[in-house]
Amino acid sequence: MVDRGELSGSAAKEIFAALLAEGGEPASIVEKRGLRQISDVGATEKAVDEVLAAYPDEVAKYRAGKTKLLGFFTGQVMKAMRGKGNPAVVGELVRRKLAC
């Protein structure tokens, strides 16, 4: 599930611990606990757009050369997605949107 981008590494550890403690099927534990990672580009793009719109001053600073703000934007998107965003998809979309 991690290799397919359905589950983050930290969620996988949580699932593994639950399997050891309770048994069961990994997929059912993921669904029951709502740990499936969001890799949908459309949903992620919406969250990225909302975050960038909420921080216009930081966007201007990033475009002026303060590239360390990339982590800030990625973190804000992950926060908006309640930690369920696929970090690779989030990072790529943030970089792409900031390049415009």
Domain boundaries, given as residue ranges, for the chain: 1-37, 41-99
pLDDT digits (tens, 9 = 90+) for 8-17: 888 899 999 9
* SS percent in the chain: helix, strand, coil, step 5: 70, 0, 30
CATH level 2 (architecture), domain 41-99: Orthogonal Bundle (1.10)
Residue of 96 and 88 predicted with greater confidence: 96
pLDDT, position 46: 96
Q: Do residues 48 and 90 touch, judged by C-beta distance below 8 A?
A: yes
pLDDT, position 1: 87
Q: Is residue 61 packed enough to be buried (19+ CB in 10 Å), middle (13-18) or exposed (0-12)?
A: middle
- Taking only Cα atoms into account, the Rg of the chain, rounded to an integer number of angstroms, comes to 16
- pLDDT at residue 63 greater than cutoff 90: yes
pLDDT above 90 covers a percentage of the chain that reads: 65
Q: Which of the 8 DSSP states describes residue 2?
A: T
**Rounded Cα distance, 18 and 12, in Å:** 10
pLDDT, position 100: 80
Which pair of structure tokens corresponds to residue 50? 């909302």
Mean pLDDT value across residues 34-51: 91
